[in-house]
Homo-oligomer: A and B are copies of this chain.
Amino acid sequence: MSNKIPRRTWLKAAAVTAVASLVGNTRAEPQDPTKTQGASPGKLGSRSPFEQPEKKPSDISSRTPLQDLYGTITPSDLHFERSHAGVPVIDPEKYELLIHGMVERPMIFRLKDLKRFPAFSRIAFIECSGNFRTGKTTMTPQEICGLTSQSEWTGVMLSTLFREVGVSPKASWFLAEGSDAAVMTRSIPVSKGLEDGMIAYAQNGEAIRPQQGYPARLFLPGWEGNTNVKWIRRIELSDQPFMTREETSKYTETVKDGKIRQFSFDMDARSVITYPSYPQQVEKGWIEIRGIAWSGRGKIDSVEVSTDAGKNWTKAILQEPVLDKAHTYFRHLWRWDGQTTEIMSRAIDDTGYRQPTLQQLINARGTDMGGYHVNPVTAWVLQQDGTVLFKPEKWK
């Protein structure tokens, strides 16, 4: 928990103000607001008026301000949004989840039924598969990849519900259907449901937010966001995928030789430096490079940071506990000499997968690969005046 930094160096670098002359003079303490009674305790806390982080909404999505955040939990009101026909209002008393198809006993579960089953809890991220934007230097982490967020999710394991309805051993896929106006549907292998799928009804300690699927959503840790069907109302078991709109016209990727990749569920390992990043400003001297790394396939094994445009790489510190399929906070202390340079990070997960460069992605999948599952190493340019700019790499 401590670092071996030469003390004198730190003293200078941190731009702290020595106040030796104040020793023993209590009146010289920092200015303070101790003369006025403060606000009384309330029913709900609130943000400081000096801190107003916000998502960036478009017509269909709203992005988490990663550059304003700390640690790994995303405040629930800043969790990214992506919907296909907006956010429905659902009365929890009227909510029902039907599970049918290749099962022994089709059943409808009310919300209170779901809550009677064993309630499992885990901290994990959800990321939209279309989570990469580039094109200009004045882009924030929020704009580049703000469609990933992390919560502590609580709910009932799908394996529990599948046992309850008696899923046929022949069932290999299920349809997950939302009760939004898009009637969002995806086909999911039963094996994933049994492995770690949940019906989540709580997020960060409280009822799930409407924007994340209130009163209940499918949660498939590590799988592309759109498969985590929100406002879930129906699960149908089958022995084949359903070939819904979202998995034929959308959420597929062109790969080389004119072929299309379908059912690309897992979100590959990725990282992003959130400090320093655009539009932050830095000073010469010690800088702690910070960011998050995550993998849909398991735990983050390590994060490597380069401060010389990719020539040399050093392992960053990972904040414990490193959790499975979870945003992992990394830090790397570095002394900047004030010269223009590029800093970047790359994640390695416990399958041995290493976050690729954009060029490696293009080599593997071609320039027509589309916007899904694009997880390249990204770079920030530190300029001599301390401004930080995104380095938008050429795609085509």
Contact = CB atoms under 8 A, between A and B. Distances in A.
A183 B35 CA distance: 9
Most buried by B among A56, A59, A62, A117: A117
Given A13-B116, A319-B121, A206 B75 contact: yes
Interface in A173-205: 179-181, 183, 196, 201-202, 204-205
Interface in A116-137: 116-121
A44 B54 contact: yes
Interface stretch (A1-9, A243-251, A260-268, A355-363): A1-9
A17 B99 CA distance: 11
A72 B212 CA distance: 19
B34 A181 contact: yes
Per assembly, the copies of the chain total 2
B22 A100 contact: yes
Contacts of A394: none
Nearest to A56: B43
Q: How large is the interface on A (under 10, 10 to 19, 20 to 34, 35 or more residues)?
A: 35 or more
Interface string A65-80: 0001111111111110
A312 interface: no
A14 B48 contact: no
Contacts of A105: 11, 18, 20
Nearest to A96: B30
Given A36-B181, A206-B75, A121 B329 contact: yes
Given A38-B85, A42-B81, A215-B48, A75 B72 contact: no
Contacts of A157: 1-2
Contacts of A76: 45, 75
A47 B207 contact: yes
A148 to B, nearest CB: 13
Nearest to A206: B75
Contacts of A373: none
Given A70-B121, A86-B40, A109-B16, A321 B323 contact: yes
Given A38-B181, A106-B19, A120-B1, A78 B10 contact: no
Interface stretch (A160-168, A302-310, A342-350): A160-168
A163 B2 contact: yes
A69 B115 CA distance: 12
Interface stretch (A87-95, A364-372, A374-382, A383-391): A87-95
Of the candidates A19, A35, A110, the one having the most CB atoms from chain B within 10 angstroms of its own CB is: A19
A16 B107 contact: yes
A286 interface: yes
Contacts of A56: 43
A159 interface: yes
Given A34-B181, A38-B87, A183-B34, A116 B160 contact: no
19 contacts: A11-B105, A14-B164, A29-B98, A30-B179, A31-B96, A33-B89, A33-B181, A37-B86, A38-B181, A40-B86, A41-B211, A42-B55, A43-B54, A45-B76, A47-B207, A50-B214, A70-B121, A71-B205, A116-B286
A-B CB proximity, top 3 nearest:
A38-B86, A30-B96, A41-B62
Given A36-B181, A48-B92, 13 more contacts: A16-B107, A17-B107, A19-B98, A19-B108, A31-B96, A43-B57, A43-B62, A45-B76, A45-B78, A45-B211, A51-B214, A53-B207, A118-B288
Interface of A: 1-3, 7, 10-11, 13-20, 22-23, 29-51, 53-62, 68-79, 81-83, 85-92, 94-98, 100-101, 105-110, 113, 116-121, 152-154, 157, 159-160, 163-164, 166, 179-181, 183, 196, 201-202, 204-207, 209-212, 214-215, 233-234, 286-288, 290, 319, 321, 323, 329, 331, 333
